[in-house]
Amino acid sequence: MKRREPTLRAVALEVGQALKEAGIQAVLTGGACASIHSRGAYSSIDLDFVLSGRVTQVSLDRAMASIRFHRHRDRYVREDLPYFVEFPPGPLAVGGDTNLAPVVLRSGSRSLRLLSPTDACRDRLAAFYHWSDRQSLAVAVAIALRHRVLWKRIRSWSTAGGAGARFEEFHAEVKRARSEQRP
């Protein structure tokens, strides 16, 4: 019988816990965060963690090695997984907004800090607003359908960034998708 491959969520929790145990503060962002908040409606193979505070390469390498990841160029890989981990430069921000409040996901004894559903939604909307990325719009809708998001925060952030009309398109897509879910 073939061994079942760990899910992206399980790998994210493993990495988050290893970093925490090494005293490294990190927040999961990007596509992996969107994948978790959309409950798999979007899939990603890379896990982006933004670090805060001073972290040496040696301590990061050691933390990742504790869970069998090794550095290969600008990412950390593990031969038995299709996922890789990257550490993009900080600060932690969404579309220039650094006033973020990460949430904690717990599973058993492991924990992971990640963008809130509201901020993960804004992160995907930033790609939609700036590059007209329809897949990012769909992921933002999936997140909003599965979580309570702070609509006023998303609207004011969108409007301040000159994307009021795009926000209205997003809001209409969420309404349409909700109406299709009702019996």
Task: Read off the pTM.
Answer: 0.94
Model confidence pLDDT, tens digit, residues 120-153? 999 999 999 999 999 999 999 999 999 999 999 9
DSSP 114-146: E--HHHHHHHHHHHHHHH--HHHHHHHHHHHHH
3-state SS assignment for residue 154? helix
The architecture in CATH of the region 8-116 reads 2-Layer Sandwich (3.30)
Give the domain ranges of the chain.
8-116, 118-181
Would you say 83 and 69 are in contact if contact means Cβ atoms under 8 Å apart?
Answer: no
Task: Output the pLDDT for position 3.
Answer: 61
3-state SS assignment for residue 90? coil
User: Phi first, then psi: what are they for 46, rounded to 5°?
Assistant: -115, 140
d(CA 117, CA 19): 22
Model confidence pLDDT, tens digit, residues 51-82? 999 999 999 999 999 999 999 999 999 999 99
